[in-house]
Structure 1
Amino acid sequence: MLKARLESDLRDAMKARDELVTSTLRMAIAAVRNAEVAGDAARELSEDEVLSVLTKEAKKRREAATAFADAGREAQAAKERAEEEVLAGYLPKQISDDELTGIVRDALAAAGLSGAASMGPAMKAAQAAVAGRAEGGRVAAIVRAQLTAG
């Protein structure tokens, strides 16, 4: 299980005195635990939900790195990029644009969706088909292109 792997890797990083990996994994585990206790009752997250939390955390790091770089704070930007790299090791490999276009086309055809008015249902179908192997922004751009072209 992914959560157990995170905790095991955290112990290994602490023993190795790897501060970057230790702090990044602590942050990731805290985010997972926060998601577990959010809502009405505490519960164990599924593998996909843990993956979703890690994806969101990686996206936060990427956005923060961009913001720091734009503000001329390159040291903080480098730290954020390094944390994103650590998290990327736990995420599935991102698929290419060509593969993504094919998956989105098939998902839209299977759901019978076309036209810009069906963006919401189309995104839901596409995200389910992609299953975390591509960023939401990339998926949205391809869905939008498919809907306006078709």
Structure 2
Amino acid sequence: MPELKDRLRADLTTAMEGRDELRTATLRMVLAAVTAEEVSGKEARELSDEEVQTVLRREAKKRREAAEAFGGAGRADQAEREKAEEGVLATYLPAQLEDADLTALVADVITTTGAAGMKDMGKVMGAVQGRVAGRAEGGRVAAEVRRQLG
């Protein structure tokens, strides 16, 4: 069984015992998403740690987008709740790359691939995404690649 999924379950138990409502609700939600992913498709399977992290990233992105939507609609209390849930999920994800590190990584890939303009963006994006491995959001990476190629 994947270690990350075990850790999520153990932390859920701890949160329930400590009566931490936010952490309990967030971990239940993410474990439900993991289970749904496991049973989707033609046959049930066990997710690897990398696949569980993919589910965590997707759920964190949902929380971030919901917080922005609630904030824009003037519902600050709900926006804060979504941000807090995203914070709980972030503790299970690898640290995000700093802007300077991302800039250097993109510059290195552009040099390595010999990219010469926006026509090579797909080639650069593919190479960068492989090296970033979930440590930077796709939109952030794309913006940096566009900036350097443009």
Asked if these proteins are the same fold (TM beyond 0.5), I'd say yes
How far off its partner does 1:125 sit? 1.4
Stretch of structure 1 that moved more, 138-147 or 6-15:
138-147
Count of residues paired in the alignment: 148
Indicate if the aligned counterparts of 1:108 and 1:126 stay in contact, CA closer than 8 A.
no
The residue that corresponds to 2:148 in the other structure is 146
The residue that corresponds to 1:30 in the other structure is 32
Question: What runs of 5+ residues in structure 2 fail to find an aligned partner?
Answer: none
Which of 101, 119, 130 aligns to 1:99? It is: 101
The residue that corresponds to 1:78 in the other structure is 80
CA gap 1:37/1:118 in 2 versus in 1, 3 angstroms = farther
Question: What runs of 5+ residues in structure 1 fail to find an aligned partner?
Answer: none
How far off its partner does 1:70 sit? 0.8
The residue that corresponds to 1:50 in the other structure is 52
Secondary structure of 2:43 counterpart: coil
Say if 2:128 is the partner of 1:126: yes
How far off its partner does 1:135 sit? 1.4
How far off its partner does 1:37 sit? 2.0
Indicate if the aligned counterparts of 1:28 and 1:54 stay in contact, CA closer than 8 A.
yes
Stretch of structure 1 that moved more, 37-46 or 64-73:
37-46
Q: What CA distance in whole angstroms lies between the structure 2 residues aligned with 1:35 and 1:107?
A: 33
The residue that corresponds to 1:21 in the other structure is 23
Consecutive aligned runs of 4 or more in structure 1 exceeding 6 Å deviation: none
Paired-residue identity, %: 59
| 1:80-104 Cα distance to aligned partner (Å, 9 max, x none) | 0110111111111111111001112
What is the RMSD computed on CA atoms of the aligned residues? 1.5
TM-score after normalising by structure 1: 0.91
